[in-house]
Chain A
Amino acid sequence: MSNGTIRGLLLSDKQADRVVPPTGFTAQLTVFVAGAMAFMAVFALALSLASGRLADRWSQELAKAATLRINAPAEQRAAQTETALKLLRQTPGVAKARALSPEEQAALLSPWFGPDLPIDALPVPQLVEVTAGEPGYDIAGLRLRLSAEVPGAVLDDHTRWREPLVDAANGLRRLGLIAILLIGGATAAMITLAANAALAANAQVIEVLRLVGAKDGYIAGAFVRRFTLRTLIGAAVGVVFGMIGVMLLPAASDEGGFLTGLGFRGIGWGLPLLIPVLGAGVAFAATWAAARRRLKELS
């Protein structure tokens, strides 16, 4: 199918459109289903974009941060911390290494122990904040060297609790994308059924058209134009309602976490506008294929 045929098929042809009788009820159903599918596609898209953003943020921000804990008797703690910091600064890929001050450590513990904690009197390990550069450092190598030189050091790169979160967010994104694909497939199936029904209902018309010298492309065009246009209109309305729905969701906030982040950001708002176009493309292909199949059965 060349570009010319596609243009020829879509170009409005009032007379060709009159030649095939209007099919009121199928038309309304097609518009409705296209609208409903587009509405759902907007939410699936919002979900998948939001969880994608979340997964990216968690994996990026947290991947850079690690904590080194130095468990040592009070008298060795300062020396070991010094060694560890020196070692960290020499490690390629480590952008920053900083020992937390006693005040910072106290602040971390205050939610549990209250504000007036005599932190010096407690065997609290010294914490060192390690920030990775771009590219990062070799964790296994670093652990090996630390264990040799700083016996009390434990490196926690947050993998343990980061990974399930990132996995969950990625899983959600995948589900969103699968939902969009399924919506596309269901739309194609629905249009195929509707187009087949319209073609069957008009079998007599098609036969007369063939007998007076109409080409398959001319006949198929009348059907393809209709279904493409109906899907475009239905999907456009569905997308508008879907976007209004997403807009009415509460704005992103830290307290709300994931749920309030559901929505579009920046040029992301342009993405749903692709849905009617893609829907129309699906309708075009489905109707064209159905018409081609059907017409071949006639002489």
Chain B
Amino acid sequence: MLIELENVGYSYGGGELLSDVSVSLAPGSFHFLTGPSGAGKTTLLKLCYGALLPTAGRVQVFDRDMGALDRDDLAMLRRRVGVVHQDCRFLDHLPLSENIALPLVVSGRGQRAEDDNLKELMSWVGLSSRAEALPPELSGGERQRAALARAVIMSPDVVLADEPTGNVDWDMSQRLLHLLVELNRMGKTVLIATHDLSLIRAAKSQVQARVLRISNKGLQLAGADL
């Protein structure tokens, strides 16, 4: 299993937000994570890339216990997990193209070697003309597309996307979804957190997706009611 949660509980200090959550993501699988606002979708994703550690249970990523990783191990692990953050944070002093290439730069792979890759990716998310723009000059949708490009530039084994289509129009959301489906066809595992049910419905015709719903602190498999 690429990502495995065993009886995971999490609390920010007050009452438990998540409790007894068990789920595993097999290599090449495609998942949606849904639930009302404040249910803990972002929290669950953070547990999956080690931004948070569970207060109960165990999270394993690539068969390694997240609680047992040291800081360098965690950095190495994050290079194999592409994350689209809900708040899309960038380095505001660097142009967009360098922000998208940032994972390559910090992992020491350098930017030049993958220049073609970078250009292709930027045109894929429709940002070719914005390569030199600084992040604060971008619209919300442009930021989201850039965040997705940054998440996949390392060609990670897993892509965790938190509301990747929250700020884009329908056409663009379909393009982004298609990009994620494409990655899944290449064998990557994809988990998309969203409360946009139309996106989930649109995906069903393209990919075999499992829909997980957070309700009552737990995780349930959502059925045909979508």
Contacts and interface: CB of A to CB of B under 8 A. Distances in A.
B76 A213 contact: yes
Consensus secondary structure, chain A interface: helix
A233 to B, nearest CB: 23
Given A204-B89, A208-B91, A212-B102, A15 B51 contact: no
Consensus secondary structure, chain B interface: loop
B106 A19 contact: yes
Contacts of A229: none
A18 interface: yes
Interface in A11-46: 15-16, 18-19, 21
Interface string B137-148: 000000000000
A217 B98 CA distance: 21
A2 to B, nearest CB: 14
Nearest to B105: A15
A16 B106 CA distance: 7
A215 interface: yes
Contact of A209 (B52, B106, B108, B110): B106
B105 A19 contact: yes
Contact of B71 (A16, A205, A209, A215): A215
Contacts of A19: 91, 94, 102, 105-106
B71 A213 contact: no
Contacts of A296: 71
Given A21-B93, A208-B89, A213 B107 contact: yes
Interface in A178-232: 204-205, 207-218
Interface residues on A, range: 20 to 34
A3 to B, nearest CB: 18
Contact of A299 (B50, B94, B107): B50
Interface residues of B, number: 28
Given A209-B102, A213-B75, A218-B108, 16 more contacts: A15-B105, A19-B94, A19-B102, A19-B105, A207-B89, A210-B78, A211-B83, A212-B78, A212-B103, A213-B76, A213-B154, A214-B75, A214-B106, A215-B76, A216-B71, A299-B51
Interface of B: 49-52, 71-72, 75-76, 78-79, 83, 85, 89-91, 93-94, 98, 102-103, 105-108, 110-111, 150, 154
28 contacts: A15-B105, A15-B110, A15-B111, A16-B105, A19-B105, A21-B91, A21-B93, A207-B89, A208-B91, A209-B102, A209-B106, A211-B49, A211-B51, A211-B85, A212-B102, A212-B103, A213-B75, A213-B76, A214-B106, A214-B107, A215-B71, A215-B75, A215-B76, A215-B106, A218-B106, A218-B108, A299-B51, A299-B52
Interface of A: 15-16, 18-19, 21, 204-205, 207-218, 295-296, 299
